[in-house]
Amino acid sequence: MKTRYLRYGLQTIILMLVLYAAFGLGSRSFEAYCPFGGMESLWGLFTTGQFTCALGPLNLSMLVGILILALIAKKAFCGWACPIGFFGDILNKISMKIFPKRPVIGGKLKGWLKLTRYLVFFISLYFTYKLGELILRGYDPFYAIFTGFKGHATLGWITITVTILIGIGSLFIPMFFCRYLCPLGATFDPFSRLGLIKITRNEETCTKCFACADICPHAIAPHNFEKVRHRDCTNCLECIDACPEEDTLELKLTI
């Protein structure tokens, strides 16, 4: 529980900083701090030597830095810094209280649904590169929320509807946007698998009580792994806090 409060504290500070920029109080637009903007800028940089639309060097620097972080600590950015991940986590905790028995998506369907984030990834990059515009803006909850749904690229009721549907989805499926729609998460996936700092499990002391699986927001089931290399693990440490056996689940630097 203490780890969660530490994580929420850090995420709240980052959220306040993004809001500061969103209100126009900083020297840069809040969009300058979007790491996926680094991916969206690559084609323009390679073909014309210029950044696409409102993107700039900070977007690319953020992307590079967070990819390096993924190689070190998996998707720690998603679990400890991302404002949308923070909103998703809060909605998940609220939903656990309201709907203790939520639908569980497993098996092949779970795998197929996760492919949708790669579809969003490729579609967004293809049309951004082709049109020279940030086409994802009108459907992006990050852009919609931090512009108060008044950004010049929002699409009126379409943007509002998409954001509401993502919120509703998050109440019934933990981390709905992160699991199935986030293109930045798709960018991190191959790097996250290689992350050096990860959750490890002591097989001798593990009782397979499933407490870790029940609390994991990404339904990873740490009790099935000696080392959690799963692409979706954000090192949020919820599983460690929930484990009743001391020193059974630990965060370690290991290959």
Read off the pLDDT of residues 17-32 as tens digits, 9 standing for 90 and up.
999 999 888 888 899 9
pLDDT per position as a tens digit, 72-118: 999 999 999 999 999 999 999 999 888 878 878 877 888 899 999 99
Residue 107: predicted pLDDT: 78
Instruction: Judge if 13 and 98 occupy the same domain.
Output: yes
Query: 230 and 150, same structural domain?
Result: no
Residue 251 reports pLDDT greater than 90: yes
Q: What is the pLDDT of residue 186?
A: 97
218 burial (CB, 10 Å; 0-12 / 13-18 / 19+) is buried
pLDDT at residue 13 tops 90: yes
Q: How far is the C-alpha of 225 from the C-alpha of 207, rounded, in Å? A: 13
**Across all residues in the chain, what is the average pLDDT?**
93
Same domain, 146 and 220: no
pLDDT, tens only, 34-80: 999 999 999 999 999 999 888 999 999 999 999 999 999 999 999 99
Burial class of 140 by CB neighbour count within 10 A (0 to 12, 13 to 18, 19+): buried
- Between CA 77 and CA 136 the distance in angstroms is 21
The pLDDT of residue 164: 95
Q: Which of 172, 191, 210 is the last residue of a domain?
A: 191
Instruction: State whether 136 and 205 are in the same domain.
Output: no
84: left (phi over 0), alpha (psi -120 to 50) or beta: alpha
Domain identity same for 219 and 93: no
Task: Note whether 50 and 138 are same-domain residues.
Answer: yes
Q: Considering the entire predicted model, what is its pTM?
A: 0.92
Bridge partners of 249? 201
Mean pLDDT lowest for which of 103-107, 130-134, 183-187, 206-210? 103-107
Q: What is the C-alpha end-to-end distance of the chain, expressed in Å? A: 28
Looking at the structure of the chain, the number of domains it has is 2
Domain termination residue (choose one: 170, 191, 212) = 191
Question: Are residues 61 and 79 both part of a single domain?
Answer: yes
pLDDT band at 189 (very low <50, low <70, confident <90, very high): very high
Half-sphere exposure of 168 (CA within 13 A, CB side): 6
CA-CA distances (angstroms) from residue 57 to 3, 18, 43, 52, 176? 33, 18, 14, 11, 30
Residue 203 has pLDDT above 90, yes or no: yes
**Gap between the Cα atoms of 72 and 59, Å rounded:** 20
Which pLDDT band, with edges at 50, 70 and 90, does 235 fall under?
A: very high
Which region, left, alpha or beta, applies to residue 26 given φ > 0 means left and ψ of -120 to 50 means alpha?
Answer: beta
Is the domain of 121 the same as that of 141? Answer: yes
Whether 140 and 221 map to the same domain: the answer is no
Q: Kindly state whether residues 14 and 114 are assigned to the same domain.
A: yes
- For residues 194-203, give the mean pLDDT: 97
pLDDT tens digits for 126-180?
999 999 889 999 999 999 999 999 988 999 999 999 999 999 999 999 999 999 9
Looking at the structure, do residues 225 and 171 belong to the same domain, yes or no?
A: no
| Locus of tokens 């940089």 | 45
Q: CA–CA separation, 21 vs 19, rounded Å?
A: 5
Tokens encoding 126: 């293809």
Query: Which structural domain range is residue 219 located in?
Result: 196-253
Same domain, 74 and 148: yes
